[in-house]
Amino acid sequence: MNDAFLTTEDVTNYLQLNLRTVYRLIKAGRIPAVRVGRQWRFRKADMDLWLEGQGTMTADASRRTASAGADGAAGPEPGPPTRLRILVVDDEASIRDLLSTALALADYDVDTAPDGHTALGRLRSERYDLLITDLKMPGIDGLTLIREARQLRPALPVVIITAYSTEASAIAAINLGVTGYLTKPFRITSVFSTAARALGQ
């Protein structure tokens, strides 16, 4: 019977997430977990169902999940919340919605922008801990946006979203200090782990 349950360490390996992100998901009530004494245990069947549901999540289903989880009770916090802020930039509404919901599941504050011009306006007026931007967009593309963002916030971590990665774009991104890539189509666990790594978690 014990082999039907996973420990916290098992889950970090199973989901390919770091411990801090797993605890963030538990605290936000986004991941099925059972408290046993001072430790958390996870039923493998529940984890598989959860992963399957996240992997097939559509933009509309994502919004329903976010709405349903918004009223979920989280444990009391000892002080003011320290939620990290992420700006997601993509000209496809479905990608923006999916990433926004996925990152909100991990208890991040997420803003979105449909293009580079809007994103630059937000970067000038708001402070973000991470920028996630599509590589190919009309008008200001991802690499141009990153160059402009670097003028505003030189140390801002950046993750690029792309359906493909050419050698030229990879070299340009590395030269601009991009932290990582999310290649479409992406799994929700990849979103969690890539954001966590970029934020140094």
Residue 57 DSSP one-character state: -
- 12 vs 2 pLDDT, higher one: 12
DSSP 99-161: HHHHHHHTT-EEEEESSHHHHHHHHHHS--SEEEEESS-SSS-HHHHHHHHHHH-TT--EEEE
Residues 6+ positions from 8 with CB-CB distance below 8 Å: 19, 22, 39, 40, 42
Beta pairing, strands 85-89 & 34-36: unpaired
Give the whole-angstrom CA distance, residue 160 versus residue 133: 5
CATH 3.60.90 matches 2-69: no
Architecture of the domain delimited by 85-198: 3-Layer(aba) Sandwich (3.40)
What pLDDT, on a 0 to 100 scale, did the predictor assign at position 159?
Answer: 93
What CA dihedral angle connects 33, 39, 43 and 47, to 10 degrees? 50
Average pLDDT over residues 51-79: 44
Break the chain into its structural domains and give their ranges.
2-69, 85-198
Spatial neighbors of 20 by CB under 8 A, at least 6 apart, are 196, 201
Asked, colleague to colleague, whether 2-69 and 85-198 share their fold, the answer is no
Question: Looking at the predicted structure, is the pLDDT value of residue 54 above 60?
Answer: no
pTM value is 0.65
